[in-house]
Amino acid sequence: MLQINDLHVYYGESHIIKGVSFEVGKAETICILGRNGMGKTTLIKAIMGLLRPKEGKITLNGEDITFLEPFEKINKGIAYVPQGREIFPYLTVQENIEVGLETVSEKTIPDFIFDLFPVLKDMLNRKGGNLSGGQQQQLAIARALVSNPKIILLDEPTEGIQPSIIEEIAKVLNILKKEKGISILLTEQFLNFALETSDRFYIIEKGKLIYETTREKADEKALRDFLTL
Amino acid sequence: MDTGVLLTQVFNGLSLFSILLLMALGLAIIFGLMGVINLAHGEFMMIGAYTTYVIEIFFSKYVNGAFSMYIFVALISSFFLTAFIGFLTEKTLIQHLYKRPLDTLLATWGLSLILQQSFRNIFGANNVNVDMPKWLIGSFAISQDFNLPYNRIFILLLAILCVGGITLFLFKTRWGLRIRAVTQNRNMSSALGINTRKVDSVAFALGSGLAGIAGSALTMIGSVGPSTGQNYIVDSFMVVILGGIKSLLGTILSAFTIGEIQSVAEFFSSSSMAKVITLVGIIILLQIRPKGLFSMRVRA
């Protein structure tokens, strides 16, 4: 459904993503694993439209979306949970989620959000900036989900988050895939979380995908070696 | 020293507060959202003032029967005309200089010079006077030397109404939510589906429209000329800086502080001394609170 073809992305003068190609299928979770500075965030930002690729093509269900603005990509069914969560600090939890409703006509928060994240229900009137990191991460996922995406991009969702909430987020991602048929593309450094949620894995190093495996065939030791090199 | 006269002066300071507040609200919305310092904001105010002037002449010549109501037509026209000119400015000038603050500064300064010259060409270099409707002339006497002039009461009510309207708009409407979201995080707002270009246009038009209302109000307390806007732009920026960008309450309190210091100091000394006292006060305050009177701290 989401196809990336020979993507090249520059950050200023430096060539960060050097010809990346892969595909995310329907209701499939793909994980891009890699250490810091290997291009994970740049790749996700380019797919989201926050950075302009220099070469290559991004298609969603056959439609070319390479150079659309971020707000146009939302309309095509892509949602984004950035690294560091980027919650609006001075908006309440409720308002944060309501911003996510921008592209849908119904402007009330659907109930399934509170089934997935019961903790948010009691915090609706608190400022987003006063939540803990884990709560903010759940809020960021909720905010992305209310636009009814076909595919959701998550950039290092476990970074700086306590283990109990990582566990909950893994559960939620699996529910989204199985029950709602949503495709998921995530980047990670934390292998356990990746193994728990993803169907296929890529290793990114210096802007190239250098290794590919599936959950069935995954050699945990080999993957770990790439991450700790 | 007469307390009555001093109280009158304090009340008159509220008119300056009202006008500065309307100006600063517009500036703060635009600066907070786009980081654009609009040096033509003072001339946008004058567009409102001259619109009021033209409408006053029109009413006194052609619809004299409804003259007492012209001020409402003038206020509404000032808002929409200035908002429209602000909208055009954003579309034609500011949008192309996005993320280039110094260029924007120069471009809006240039625009302010062009507008000032246009005012001179159209309305003449001399100040113009706008006649007020009868019901705004006179004053409400509390004691023999403490009077509340009707026109100044009207301006104060107008400012309160505008602040109330803006608060409702920012906190209760979808557009308000969009503006607040983009102000806090432009990229993320875009990545959630908000058309940030449209939000910029709407906010710039709104901020400009508020300047138009300020200009209309200004004609009720004095004569206005092509360069009157220049006297207000610096003070308005001081209000924004002192109030702390992104805080509505801060803007209100800081407009109040500056407006009152200025009028009361003027009463005790001269108007240039009043400016000096105000500036010294602000410099000291900013030493103590570098981010303005109100700056919130949360985990971002």
Going by C-alpha positions, the residue among A131, A196, A132 that lies closest to residue A161 is A132
The answer as to whether B294 is a domain residue is no
CB contact under 8 Å between B190 and A70, yes or no, is yes
Residue-wise pLDDT tens digits, B175-196: 999 999 999 999 999 999 999 9
The answer as to whether B295 is a domain residue is no
| CA gap A82, A76 in Å, rounded | 18
CB contact under 8 Å between B192 and A86, yes or no, is no
With beta carbons less than 8 A apart as the criterion, state whether B148 and B7 touch.
no
For the stretch B195-229, what's the b/e string if a residue is b when 16 or more beta carbons lie within 10 angstroms of its beta carbon?
Answer: bbeebbbbbbbbbbbbbbbbbbbbbbbeebbbbbb
| Residue B194 in contact with partner chain A when CB distance is under 8 A | yes
Give phi and psi for A171, each to the nearest 5. Answer: -60, -45
Confidence check: pLDDT of A13 > 50: yes
Torsion of CA B169, B175, B180, B186, to 10 degrees: -160
Residue A144: the pLDDT is 96
The answer as to whether B277 is a domain residue is yes
Return all residues near A223 (Cβ < 8 A) that are at least 6 apart: A33, A191, A201, A203, A213
CB contact under 8 Å between A99 and B298, yes or no, is no
Chain A (51-110) residues lying within 8 Å, Cβ to Cβ, of chain B: 69-71, 74-75, 80, 82, 86-91, 95, 98-100, 102-103, 107
With beta carbons less than 8 A apart as the criterion, state whether B238 and B292 touch.
no
Residue B300: the pLDDT is 44
Residue B107: the pLDDT is 95
The answer as to whether B298 is a domain residue is no
With beta carbons less than 8 A apart as the criterion, state whether A67 and A52 touch.
yes
The answer as to whether B203 is a domain residue is yes
Going by C-alpha positions, the residue among B235, B239, B241, B232 that lies closest to residue B255 is B239
User: In a structure prediction context, what are the per-residue pLDDT tens digits for chain B, which is 300 residues long?
Assistant: 578 888 888 898 999 999 999 999 999 999 888 888 899 999 999 999 999 999 999 999 998 888 989 999 999 999 999 999 999 999 999 988 887 888 999 999 999 999 999 999 999 999 999 999 999 998 888 888 888 999 999 999 999 999 999 999 999 999 999 999 999 999 999 999 999 999 999 999 999 999 999 999 999 999 999 999 998 998 999 898 888 767 788 899 999 999 998 888 888 888 888 888 888 988 888 888 877 777 655 544
Tokens linked to B27: 């500036």
The phi-psi region of residue A101 (left if phi > 0; otherwise alpha if psi is between -120 and 50; otherwise beta) is alpha
Give phi and psi for B298, each to the nearest 5. Answer: -140, 170
Domain count, chain B: 1
Confidence check: pLDDT of A36 > 80: yes
**Predicted TM-score of the model (pTM):** 0.90
CB contact under 8 Å between B178 and A48, yes or no, is no
Residue-wise pLDDT tens digits, A65-123: 999 999 999 999 999 999 999 999 999 999 999 999 999 998 899 999 999 999 999 99
Residue A219: the pLDDT is 85
Residue-wise pLDDT tens digits, A203-228: 999 999 999 999 888 888 888 888 88
| CA gap A6, A43 in Å, rounded | 12
The answer as to whether B297 is a domain residue is no
Distance between terminal CA atoms of chain B? 52
The Cα of B281 is separated from the nearest Cα of chain A by a number of Å equal to: 30
Confidence check: pLDDT of A229 > 80: no
Going by C-alpha positions, the residue among B205, B207, B263, B268 that lies closest to residue B235 is B263
**Residue B186's closest chain A neighbor by CA?**
A88
Residue B241: the pLDDT is 86
Give B-chain residues touching A90 at CB under 8 angstroms. 180, 184, 246, 296, 298
Confidence check: pLDDT of A23 > 50: yes
The answer as to whether B64 is a domain residue is yes
Residue B101: the pLDDT is 85
Type of residue found at B4? G
Give phi and psi for B145, each to the nearest 5. Answer: -120, 20
| Residue B271 in contact with partner chain A when CB distance is under 8 A | no
| CA gap B134, A159 in Å, rounded | 68
From the centroid of its chain, how far is CA B73? 19
CA distances from B210 to A33, B19, B24, B30 (A): 51, 10, 9, 11
The answer as to whether B164 is a domain residue is yes
Mapped onto helix, strand or coil, the DSSP state of residue A160 is coil
DSSP states of B2-70: -HHHHHHHHHHHHHHHHHHHHHHHHHHHHHHHH----TTHHHHHHHHHHHHHHHHHHHHHH-GGGGGGH
**Least confident piece of the model among A51-60, A138-147, B93-102:** B93-102
| Residue A227 in contact with partner chain B when CB distance is under 8 A | no
Residue-wise pLDDT tens digits, B57-92: 999 999 888 898 999 999 999 999 999 999 999 999
| B46: containing domain | 3-288
Among the partner residues A70, A87, A90, nearest to B296 by beta-carbon distance: A90
* ipTM associated with this complex: 0.91
Tokens 């409408």 label which residue?
Answer: B55
